[in-house]
Chains A and B, each alone.
Chain A
Amino acid sequence: MGKSGKQNKSAKTVIPFGPQHPVLPEPLHLKLVMEDEIIVEAIPAIGYVHRGLEKLTEIKEFTQNVFIVERICGICSVMHAQAYCQGIETLMNIQVPDRAKYLRVIWAELHRIHSHLLWLGLLADAFGFESLFMQVWRNREKVMDIMEETAGGRVIISVNTIGGTRRDMSPEALRKVAVIADEIKEDMKELEKVFMADYTVKHRLVGVGVLEPDLAYEFGAVGPMARASGIKQDLRTTGYAAYGELDFEPVVETGCDSYARTMVRLREVYQSVDLIKQAIGKIPDGEINVPVKGMPKGEVISRVEQPRGEVLYYLKANGTKNLERLRIRTPTFANIPTLLKMLPGSELADVPVLILTIDPCISCTER
């Protein structure tokens, strides 16, 4: 601080944001260097929820690791297990039965719906729209219930296993999933109007946190962050699991701001509903898993599209029951640099919304 009053005018203050903050579901710490109300620089600090899960996977057997990687993140547990299983299956040349592939798609898309609804609710909460938050979460409860009914768990549903899935869905269960998917679509059609047209919502979102397409590309944004900046990037188009046989187009918006990111996630809910219904229509009969024999050997990179974007699994196995190395790059890790790029120049009051639009999952990032 300068001694004279004149110098104080442009003095910079550092405001710590997080790790405990009402808007943050998980501990992310940002040191915000402020000049009056405008942010000049944001310095991130993470490491509050590191659990050493990557190291743990080296001690446990490769079959047990499915349960460990699921627990990296509650909101996208299915996709974590899916990425891991697909990696091991590639290493061991296991042909997953078709029915299992479709079941994986159905559960993964249910998970995507629940993740996006959770995020839409949290966003509404972040800009102070409590009743919208509660209505979105009320709709989300239907997805949680159908997941518990079909898979046995609300959040960590533990359906993936190496070689297929652990549970099957009966025709009645599939019909019920389709009915619930339709209901979600109807419910969201009602709430969609609020997100799309409400004055207060638009006031807090439009033009806030603009991320230009070339910047998003340069900083390696993934998932809805990239798609809201007009980058047509969706790993599901690579056709893993049964996605190659389903008809869909990545949801792309060109607004580049927080509003565009909200729209991407909102439209992805409908896309997931559509994918679930397509998968239920096409699902073949047959086995749901194949027995696993032998040990994995070699190294592989396995990628899966999570609700937050691309997750990358690097697996190195040496022919024993333990893996030599498991490295995970999660979507939030890829999106934090873009957040640090968006923050300078914005106002302090917009920080909660900006942090939420990258859909931060800190427990994923730190593992």
Chain B
Amino acid sequence: MFEMIGSILKNLSSKPATRKYPFEKRPAFKNARGQISGIDIDQCIFCGICQRKCPADAIKVTKAEKSWEIDQFRCVICGACVEVCPKKCIKMDDEYKTSAYTKETYKAVQKTATEPQAAKEA
């Protein structure tokens, strides 16, 4: 009985264990696997290792087109692509966000060497 009163008083005086989420957000942990936020496409050499290692077949690399694509709805955020990338150009965000509002894939295309000016601007 006394223990119960003790815990009642403790619960009354202590802060709530929950957060008012949309207004008050917990800062993301460093190096947490949040989501693949994109790629530094100018670094990419289109070797396709990330595509082969992806367990969910979410990544599509096209060498001819010089493009790198990810389907955020297929991605299981394991981080295998980030680990195997020889150029370390795939970026992992430490915060999970809603991946997309529509089922559009993230696609990055490298500008060809004939227009280096455009690549710099981008």
A residues touching B (Cβ–Cβ < 8 Å)? 60, 63-65, 67-68, 71, 138, 141, 145, 148-149, 152-153, 158, 166, 190, 193
Contact = CB atoms under 8 A, between A and B. Distances in A.
Contacts of A60: 55
Nearest to B78: A67
B5 interface: no
Contacts of A193: 3
Nearest to A139: B17
9 contacts: A67-B55, A67-B56, A67-B78, A67-B80, A138-B17, A141-B17, A148-B29, A152-B29, A153-B77
A120 B35 CA distance: 32
A152 B33 contact: yes
Contacts of A190: 7
B10 to A, nearest CB: 10
Contact of A152 (B3, B32, B54, B55): B32
Given A64-B53, A65-B55, A193-B3, 16 more contacts: A60-B55, A63-B53, A67-B56, A67-B76, A67-B78, A145-B29, A148-B29, A149-B29, A149-B32, A152-B29, A152-B31, A152-B32, A158-B78, A158-B79, A166-B79, A190-B7
- Identify the 9 closest CB pairs spanning chains A and B, nearest first: A64-B55, A152-B33, A67-B55, A138-B17, A149-B29, A67-B78, A152-B32, A148-B29, A153-B33
Given A158-B78, A158-B79, A68 B29 contact: no
Interface of B: 3, 7, 17, 29, 31-33, 53-56, 76-80, 83
Contact of B55 (A68, A138, A149): A68
A232 B17 CA distance: 38
B49 to A, nearest CB: 12
Q: Which of A63, A148, A152 counts the most B-chain CB atoms under 10 A from its CB?
A: A152
Nearest to B76: A67
Nearest to A149: B29
Contacts of B32: 148-149, 152-153
Nearest to A134: B17
A158 B55 contact: no
Contacts of A148: 29, 32
A148 B33 CA distance: 8
A141 B19 CA distance: 13
Nearest to A190: B7
A81 B82 CA distance: 20
A166 B76 CA distance: 16
Nearest to B16: A138
Contacts of B29: 145, 148-149, 152
Nearest to A63: B53
Contacts of B56: 67
Contact of A166 (B17, B54, B83): B83
Contacts of A67: 55-56, 76, 78, 80
Nearest to B80: A67
A160 B76 CA distance: 16
A16 B16 CA distance: 39
A136 B3 CA distance: 17
A149 B3 CA distance: 34
Contacts of A145: 29
Nearest to B34: A152
A4 B80 CA distance: 69
B17 A158 contact: no
Contacts of B79: 152, 158, 166
Contacts of B17: 138, 141
Contacts of B83: 166
Contacts of A71: 76
A247 to B, nearest CB: 32
Contacts of A153: 32-33, 77
Contacts of B3: 193
Nearest to A166: B83
Nearest to A193: B3
B52 to A, nearest CB: 8
